[in-house]
Amino acid sequence: MSSSATNEGISPGSGDGTRAVRAGLPEPVKYEPTLPGPVFAAHFHLPGEPTGPYTYGRDENPTWTHLEHAIGELEAPGQDGVETLVFASGMAAISSVLFSQLRSGDAVVLPGDGYQALPLARAQLEAYGIEVRTAPTRSDAQIEVLDGAKLLLIESPSNPGLDVCDIRRLAEAAHARGALVAVDNTLATPLGQRPLALGADFSVASGTKQLTGHGDILLGYVTGRAGEPMTSVRRWRKIVGAIPGPMEAWLAHRSIATLQMRVDRQNATALAVAEALRGRPEVSGLRYPGLPDDPSHQVASQQMRRYGCVVSFALATRARAERFLDALRLVDEATSFGGVRSTAERRGRWGGDAVPEGFVRLSVGAEDPEDLVADVLRALEESER
């Protein structure tokens, strides 16, 4: 089922706010709600041959369909022949691409500095006889290990280091070698970056993060051009049953309506926080792609329309970072990112990320910028004692 636009009021030239508010809405029907409520159904009335769109709840659900249309309109506005499939989590979405496209004897290239669950995926891929190669995101290092690969997975910006690679360049290099390209678009969101327009075959993401933005939904999705690769992803979802509940899908669709407002507020405040941290003697390794002097800024400015809500930096020691986090009043110490309430954590506590013990990932929320900047600077000063 294609996820092309269902609302005729959205034109390809519409602004991001207009698109987010109206994406995926069905055509209006008198006395019906503008966004139909969640459909809770394991099965549907199905007399005769099973030729309709909805047969069994593991395969399709009307609530998913509306959400899939909405995400597709954000990821690939105005493009026909694009499909979106929603999943129970971001890792379910990423895994569906990896395990549906790869077979024993194939090779895949993964980011060496990506999300901390990727080593788990790597171990499983290798157990299935798939060769896994890794390379860092920065400087397009994946090109050096592409020969003979079946699939390239890009994470740009990378999490948590915020490095950026040239997606268009990597996609062209991968396609020239016969490889498919998937881009993890979680940190950028479709309003910050559109991987399919940059040449990728798949855009995958965790909708748990800024797409839905309230820290109360686990969700993932894959968007790609209609064809055998997406058919394989759909088949994999059916086999493993990695499907979202209808309530989660409905809440996600509702939340997307405010995406542009949240993203613009959070991105602007993230830049303000990064600028406030710049030059602070206790802060090292400050990263935010929106800073003009950030190592990723030049490439990011060529392919991103917004730079994200995450700022990363390091303090001298684990103890200093923990004192800083404890001193914050407007920032919750929690994992994940992208929510309307700011969060931060010392990433080294999880293991798996190649970061210093004092490395902090700060996810900027929708608080007033002045209040958040003041809180961060005050916590820095208190953590010195």
Looking at residue 145, what is its pLDDT?
Answer: 98
Calpha distance 348→354 (Å, rounded): 8
Residue 238 confidence (pLDDT) above 90:
yes
Over the stretch 280-329, which tens digit does the pLDDT of each residue have?
Answer: 999 999 999 999 999 999 999 999 999 999 999 999 999 999 999 999 99
Residue 4 confidence (pLDDT) above 50:
no
Looking at residue 9, what is its pLDDT?
Answer: 58
Global pTM reads: 0.95
Name which residue leads in pLDDT, 368 or 350.
368
Looking at residue 7, what is its pLDDT?
Answer: 53
| H, E, C per residue of the chain | CCCCCCCCCCCCCCCHHHHHHHCCCCCCCCCCCCCCCCCCCCECCCCCCCCCCCCECCCCCHHHHHHHHHHHHHHCCCCCCEEEEEECCHHHHHHHHHHHHCCCCCEEEEECCCCCCHHHHHHHHHHCCCEEEEECCHHHHHHHHCCCCCEEEEECCCCCCCCCCCHHHHHHHHHHCCCEEEEECCCCCCCCCCHHHHCCCEEEEECCCCCCCCCCCCCEEEEEECCHHHHHHHHHHHHHCCCCCHHHHHHHHHHHCCHHHHHHHHHHHHHHHHHHHCCCCCCEEEECCCCCCCCCHHHHHHHCCCCCCEEEEECCCHHHHHHHHHHCCCCEECCCCCCCCCEEEEHHHCCCCCCCCCEEEEECCCCCHHHHHHHHHHHHHHHCC
Over the stretch 241-293, which tens digit does the pLDDT of each residue have?
Answer: 999 999 999 999 999 999 999 999 999 999 999 999 998 999 999 999 999 99
The pLDDT-based confidence of 2 (bands split at 50, 70, 90) is: very low
Residue 3 confidence (pLDDT) above 50:
no
Over the stretch 169-196, which tens digit does the pLDDT of each residue have?
Answer: 999 999 999 999 999 999 999 999 999 9
Over the stretch 116-154, which tens digit does the pLDDT of each residue have?
Answer: 899 999 999 999 999 999 999 999 999 999 999 999 999
Closest by CA position to 116, among listed 331, 332, 337: 337
Looking at residue 210, what is its pLDDT?
Answer: 98
Closest by CA position to 221, among listed 251, 191, 250, 242: 242
Looking at residue 12, what is its pLDDT?
Answer: 64
Average pLDDT over residues 9-22: 84
Looking at residue 111, what is its pLDDT?
Answer: 96
Cis geometry, peptide bond prior to residue 28 (ω within 30 degrees of 0): no
The pLDDT-based confidence of 50 (bands split at 50, 70, 90) is: confident
Residue 352 confidence (pLDDT) above 80:
no
Over the stretch 59-104, which tens digit does the pLDDT of each residue have?
Answer: 999 999 999 999 999 999 999 999 999 999 999 999 999 999 999 9
Average pLDDT, the chain: 95
Looking at residue 81, what is its pLDDT?
Answer: 95
The pLDDT-based confidence of 14 (bands split at 50, 70, 90) is: confident
Looking at residue 354, what is its pLDDT?
Answer: 82
Over the stretch 17-31, which tens digit does the pLDDT of each residue have?
Answer: 999 999 999 999 999
